[in-house]
């Protein structure tokens, strides 16, 4: 046996499939060959690894997944990444409940304080203008059964407004780049944390167009936050398009608006004119009509962001 024979033998057959004679031949060659000795050792050790038996509970967990799926909920029973996400949601829900409970417990006794503070007015379009908040509470406190629903609705609305206000970031000027989590949340119709190709097609045509070529790195027709983050991150640093798509140049799919702006806005005034795009000679000019939707011969950041599906 020579080095080539040993190479072929170890690449074409698993260790367990070697006959005793073949194994002896290989060992005797490897023992005297500087090149083959480490390869043979690695091969033999890899083959000798003892895989532990499958835990019994894994079958049950997988059956549970199938059962959950049949009920319309893709519930992952164990994966720890999902556990963290669910944990975060539970914490948020608990915070919302606490705020609601706080309003319920403090609204009546602290009526004077409540009256001092500006509170949102809940308007029911089917009814005349809603009475002020404090009298509502008064009537409820006096036991008017018709007002219970009103009180509950008011308290819930105020709580929800408070929670929403606390969670909503301050309004920003101009279009905002969505994070991977936000893009997933927008497109995840069944809220299972995974956006499928079908969901992307329903929600956002551009995301759908870029789905397979850019974002869906493993081509399994679905993506989660981590996968999208990875794709966006790679695109953002500018090295990615080639790596991800295997294409080079001229493809704007997945490019960040900033990158397109940077490569086309020659006078750096924040606006790309058709002349600039022509001079720059990038992909933008070929797709100009897709971005210059108002046909004014200029494309600004908002147009680019919109055109790229952000």
Partner 1 sequence: MPGSVPDRFAQHVEPHLEVLFRVAWRLLRNTPDAQDLVQDTCVVACGRLGEVAAADSPRRWLLTVLHNRFIDGQRRRQRSPIVAVEDSDEVASLPSADFDPEELLRQSQDEQALEQAFLQLNPTQRTLLSLLAEGYTLHEIAAITGIAHKLLSTKLHRARNALSQRLIEQTSVAMRRAGSQP
Say how far apart CA 255 and CA 246 lie, in whole Å: 14
Q: Is 77 in the site for partner 1 (CB under 8 A)?
A: yes
| Tokens at 43, concatenated | 């091969």
CB of 183 to partner 1, least distance (A): 16
Task: Say whether residue 39 binds partner 1 (CB under 8 A).
Answer: yes
Among the listed residues 23, 61, 111, 306, the single contact to partner 1 using CB under 8 A: 61
1 binds partner 1 (CB under 8 A): no
**φ, ψ of residue 307 in degrees (nearest 5):** -65, -30
Q: Could you tell me if 194 and 221 are in contact, meaning their C-beta atoms sit under 8 angstroms apart?
A: no
Instruction: Work out whether 80 is an interface residue with partner 1 (CB under 8 A).
Output: yes
Distance CA 156, CA 89 (A): 19
CB-wise, 235 or 252, nearer to partner 1? 235
Question: Between the CA of residue 207 and those of 37, 186, 217, 289, 305, what are the distances in Å?
Answer: 52, 11, 14, 18, 12
Nearest CA-CA partner of 134 in 149, 100, 150: 150
How far is 281 from 285, CA to CA, in rounded Å?
7
Please identify, among the stretches 51-59, 153-161, 163-171, 283-291, the one whose residues bind partner 1 according to the rule CB under 8 A: 51-59
Task: Confirm or reject binding of residue 45 to partner 1 (CB under 8 A).
Answer: yes
Residues 212-271 that bind partner 1 (CB under 8 A): 217-220, 222, 226-227, 230
* CA distances from residue 261 to 7, 136, 257, 268, 298 in whole angstroms, order as listed: 53, 55, 6, 9, 12
Q: Is 17 in the site for partner 1 (CB under 8 A)?
A: yes
Q: How far is the CB of 247 from partner 1 (least distance, A)?
A: 18
- Cβ-in-10-Å burial (0-12, 13-18, 19+) of 82 comes to middle
Assess 79 for contact with partner 1 (CB under 8 A).
Answer: yes
Interface segment toward partner 1; rule CB under 8 A; list 42-50, 141-149, 206-214, 235-243: 42-50
Phi, psi of 254 (to 5 degrees): 85, -10
Of residues 167 and 190, the one with the C-beta less far from partner 1: 190
- The one segment of 65-73, 85-93, 155-163, 164-172 that binds partner 1 by CB under 8 A: 65-73
- The interface region with partner 1, picked from 38-46, 157-165, 269-277, 281-289 by CB under 8 A, is 38-46
Quote the CA–CA distance of 306 and 310 in Å, as a whole number: 6
Which residue's CB is nearer to partner 1, number 191 or number 295?
Answer: 191
Residue 223 sits at φ, ψ, to 5 deg, of -145, 155
Q: How far is the CB of 177 from partner 1 (least distance, A)?
A: 21
**Of 3, 24, 28, 62, which one interacts with partner 1 (CB under 8 A)?**
62
Under the rule (CB under 8 A), what is the footprint of partner 1?
Answer: 7, 10-12, 14-17, 38-39, 41-43, 45-47, 49-52, 54-55, 58-59, 61-63, 65-67, 69-70, 74, 76-80, 196, 217-220, 222, 226-227, 230
């Amino acid at each position: 046996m020579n080095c080539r024979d040993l190479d072929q033998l170890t690449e074409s057959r698993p260790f367990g499939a070697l006959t005793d004679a073949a194994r002896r031949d290989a060992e005797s060659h490897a023992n005297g060959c500087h090149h083959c000795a480490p390869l043979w050792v690695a091969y033999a050790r890899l083959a000798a690894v003892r895989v532990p038996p499958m835990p019994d509970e894994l079958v049950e967990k997988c059956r549970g997944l199938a059962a959950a799926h049949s009920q319309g909920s893709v519930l992952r029973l164990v994966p720890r990444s999902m556990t963290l996400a669910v944990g975060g949601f539970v914490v948020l829900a608990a915070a919302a409940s606490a705020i609601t409970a706080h309003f319920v417990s403090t609204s009546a006794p602290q009526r004077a304080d409540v009256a001092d503070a500006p509170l949102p007015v809940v308007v029911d379009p089917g009814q005349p203008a809603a009475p002020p908040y404090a009298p509502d509470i008064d009537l409820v406190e006096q036991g008017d059964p018709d007002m219970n629903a009103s009180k509950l609705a008011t308290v819930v609305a105020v709580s929800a407004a408070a929670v929403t206000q606390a969670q909503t970031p301050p309004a920003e000027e101009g279009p905002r780049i969505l994070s991977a989590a936000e893009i997933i949340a927008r497109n995840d119709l069944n809220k299972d944390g995974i956006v499928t190709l079908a969901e992307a097609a329903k929600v956002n045509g551009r995301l759908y167009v870029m789905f397979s070529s850019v974002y869906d790195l493993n081509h399994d027709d679905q993506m989660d936050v981590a996968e999208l983050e990875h794709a966006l991150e790679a695109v953002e640093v500018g090295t990615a398009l080639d790596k991800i798509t295997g294409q080079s140049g001229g493809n704007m799919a997945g490019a960040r608006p900033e990158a397109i702006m940077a490569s086309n806005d020659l006078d750096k005034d924040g606006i790309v004119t058709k002349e600039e795009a022509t001079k720059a000679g990038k992909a933008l000019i070929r797709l100009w009509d897709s971005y210059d939707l108002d046909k004014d011969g200029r494309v600004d950041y908002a147009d680019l962001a919109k055109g790229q599906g952000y």
